[in-house]
Amino acid sequence: MIQSFKRLIVILIRNVRVTKVKRSVGGYNGRIFVGGKTSLSKNTFLGDNVNFNGMTVAGIGRLTIGNNFHSGTDCLIITSNHNYKGEKIPYDETHIAKDVTIEDNVWIGSKVIILGGVNIGEGAIIQAGAMVHKSVPKGAIVGGNPACVIAFRDLEKYEQLKLDGKFH
């Protein structure tokens, strides 16, 4: 009885989180799963089957996330920065938008930071704790601070799984 009550509470919390995400974004295109505290912006646009386990989007730039996206906990995407070339130091009041695009079938581990101006290619995997400051190619597995390519997926197998419609 207590287990089923706890399960019901978890489901209710997830439903509230999903509703909050849907209301906060600029648009979405299908199923959304929110398993952890997630805060997105009106400049965020989501594909189908996106899964957040804890994500914060900070900044004024556009974030586009494709289909079948999964994130770990405590992730941060920064879509703008301060103008340090302005008329004040360390920076002025100007914010510089730097869009981020995350293509289809991307998996981002826990505690990942993604800076503005980055494109994460289709099927990429970002290891936990990585700080991504430049674009990531299709199928790349990156990690570290700053993130660098460690390996690549087996793209032949990846394409076959896509054709077979095998998505998590």
Residues catalogued as catalytic: 82
Helix (H) or strand (E) holding 33: strand 32-34
- Beta strands (DSSP E) in 40-143 are 44-46, 50-52, 55-58, 63-65, 70-71, 75-78, 80-82, 95-97, 100-102, 107-108, 113-114, 119-120, 125-126, 131-132, 140-143
Taking alpha carbons only, the member of 135, 137, 143, 100 closest to residue 122 is 137
